[in-house]
């Protein structure tokens, strides 16, 4: 597999991340926010967006994976638990990409079980075409077509996460 068309360059990504952060700042004002990033795909997005947030922020991560090669397996493994307590807190889940919806549906239920004060979801990319579970998403950066994307944290078999842009993956 090789890198195909660039969908979003680093400048466009930063502009979108700033726009999302602006909305989040407006919505939460001075309320303390617990950001829960889903690893590994969201590590760069989380690192970038938190630097534009103005309220007091706590950052935590959960590790999970639902992808084998480029097809969603529908089976999600959760590798580590949250370090921060969720109960009563304003929680924002931050994810790289929403595709079938299985991942966020499961994570959302798990976090709701821990009784947060509020829960919202922010995704950098939404790929609505293959949605199988409806997931309420509050902040969306880009809507993408049904292509497999890599870069800016997203991977193909653990590769390409380091690309500063988001590109389409294609066969050689």
Binding residues vs ligand IMP (CB under 6 A) = 38, 41, 66-67, 72, 95-103, 127, 148-150, 154
Tokens matching residue 141: 């950066």
Q: What distance in Å separates the CA atoms of residue 132 and residue 102, rounded to the nearest whole number?
A: 7
Is 62 or 86 the residue whose CB approaches Mg ion more closely? 62
Residues 80-109 that bind Mg ion (CB under 5 A): 96
Greatest CA separation for the chain: 50
Q: Which of 90, 99, 126, 155 is catalytic?
A: 99
66 binds, among Mg ion, ligand IMP, none (CB under 5 to 8 A by kind): ligand IMP
Kindly state the smallest distance separating residue 4's Cβ from ligand IMP, in Å: 12
In the annotation, is 155 catalytic? no
Using alpha carbons, select from 47, 82, 85, 46 the residue that is nearest to residue 63: 82
Is 21 or 94 the residue whose CB approaches ligand IMP more closely? 94
Using the Cα atoms of residue 41, residue 47, residue 49 and residue 50 in order, give the sign of their dihedral: positive
Is 48 or 99 the residue whose CB approaches ligand IMP more closely? 99
Kindly state the smallest distance separating residue 54's Cβ from Mg ion, in Å: 26
Residues 104-163 that bind Mg ion (CB under 5 A): none
Q: Running DSSP on this structure, what letter comes out for residue 92?
A: E
Is 8 or 28 the residue whose CB approaches ligand IMP more closely? 8
- Angle between the 10-28 and 43-50 helix axes, to the nearest 10 degrees? 60
Give bridge partners of residue 98 from the DSSP assignment.
126
Kindly state the smallest distance separating residue 28's Cβ from ligand IMP, in Å: 24
Using the Cα atoms of residue 49, residue 50, residue 51 and residue 56 in order, give the sign of their dihedral: positive
Which of 20, 35, 41, 135 lies at the binding interface for Mg ion (CB under 5 A)?
41
CA dihedral 134, 167, 140, 85 (to 10 degrees): 80
Active site residues: 99
Residues that bind Mg ion (CB under 5 A): 41, 96
């Amino acid at each position: 597999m090789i890198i195909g068309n660039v969908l979003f360059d680093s400048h466009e990504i930063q502009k979108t991340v700033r726009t999302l952060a602006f909305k989040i700042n407006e919505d939460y004002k001075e309320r303390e926010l617990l950001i829960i990033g889903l690893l590994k795909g969201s590590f760069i997005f989380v690192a970038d967006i938190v630097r534009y947030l103005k309220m007091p922020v706590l950052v935590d991560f959960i590790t999970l994976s639902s992808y084998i090669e480029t097809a969603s397996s529908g089976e999600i493994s959760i590798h580590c638990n949250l370090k921060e307590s969720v109960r009563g807190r304003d929680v924002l889940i931050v994810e790289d990409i929403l595709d079938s919806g299985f991942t966020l549906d499961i994570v959302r239920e798990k976090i709701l079980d821990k009784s947060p004060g509020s829960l919202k979801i922010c995704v950098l990319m939404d790929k609505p075409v293959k949605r199988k579970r409806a997931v309420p998403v509050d902040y969306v950066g880009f809507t993408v077509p049904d292509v497999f994307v890599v870069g800016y944290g997203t991977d193909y078999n653990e590769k390409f996460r380091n690309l500063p842009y988001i590109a389409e993956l294609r066969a050689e």
